[in-house]
Amino acid sequence: MVQTKLIALSAAALLLVSCAGTVQWRRYAMDASRTGVHAVEGDNAPQALGRFDGGVYTAPDGKVFDCGVTPAVAKIMLDAQEKMAPLREVVAYAPVAIPKAKPESPLSNLAVDVLMAQTEAATGKKVDVGLMNFGGIRLNEIPQGNVLLDDFVSMFPFKNHLCWVQLSGADLRRLFEQIARENIQVIGGARLVIDGTKLVSAEIAGQPLDDAKDYGVATVDFLLDGGDKLYVARNAKDLVITKMMIYDAMMNYVRAETAAGRPLTYQADGRVEIRN
């Protein structure tokens, strides 16, 4: 979470800046073991971050800091809490963590499957395949337990718009071959078998990819013309760029699942198989 990253910086300052004003840079695990600082949820900022009073900062574990930059950093953090409060809205519950990993994972599968469904709904056009870049998903996992709005803001910080692209099977195959050869990316609606860096087979909806057939591809505008070295719109027969961003698409899904009383879960399903 963005909040967690800021807390980590605050904790680092607590550990590394002396009262004499000198700085010694060291590497520490930010696990709340030294000051008790941890992520804020709901209205527990004083318990999570500590308190600042009269130029003195008292950490959650009771340690007191009255010199150096630590009190100043703590004051910035605590003063920001009112504006950050909306990000601490609990928007979902995850019974287990939902991790991201290559070549496929529960989190990447969730993201691209939502992309496909929301693109189809936004455009009214049939989506056969989804394609995203792993780098566009900026968290390594959705945490177990209460999931905050902050998690999704941190996960999709870029203003990437949903797009629908009509491609021939031959052009789609070339994209899959490039992904196999250069850099595995997030795939939906397809099953790829890759041996080393060579595409062995590609299936769409359980059927072999047909070079002569046209397919509807859901993606984001970052990948249309060179993002992550992909040119999804090259040779496109049709293209629709929507006003919906990937963050909004994900929140549509998450809020609907929560409203229906369903926990947030997802799974890997073997859609990308790497041999050797």
Residue 13 reports pLDDT greater than 50? no
**Pairwise CA distance, residues 111 & 93, whole Å:** 17
**Pairwise CA distance, residues 232 & 171, whole Å:** 9
pLDDT tens digits, 80-124: 888 888 888 999 999 999 999 999 999 999 999 999 999 999 999
Q: Where are the domains of the chain?
A: 2-87, 91-275
pLDDT tens digits, 130-148: 999 999 999 999 999 999 9
Please tell me what DSSP assigns to residue 31.
S
Query: Per the confidence metrics, is the pTM higher than 0.85?
Result: no
Looking at CATH, the fold of the domain delimited by 91-275 is given as 5'-nucleotidase;  domain 2 (3.90.780)
pLDDT score at 18: 54
154, 2 in Cβ contact below 8 A? yes
- Give the mean model confidence (pLDDT) for residues 199-209: 97
pLDDT score at 10: 39
pLDDT tens digits, 237-273: 999 999 999 999 999 999 999 999 999 999 999 999 9
139, 100 in Cβ contact below 8 A? yes
Question: CA Rg, the chain, in Å?
Answer: 23
**Pairwise CA distance, residues 28 & 39, whole Å:** 17
**Pairwise CA distance, residues 102 & 8, whole Å:** 26
Residue 8 reports pLDDT greater than 70? no
Determine how many CB atoms are found less than 10 A away from the CB of residue 144: 12
**Pairwise CA distance, residues 106 & 13, whole Å:** 35
Q: What does the angle CA 136 – CA 115 – CA 168 come to, to the nearest 5 degrees?
A: 100
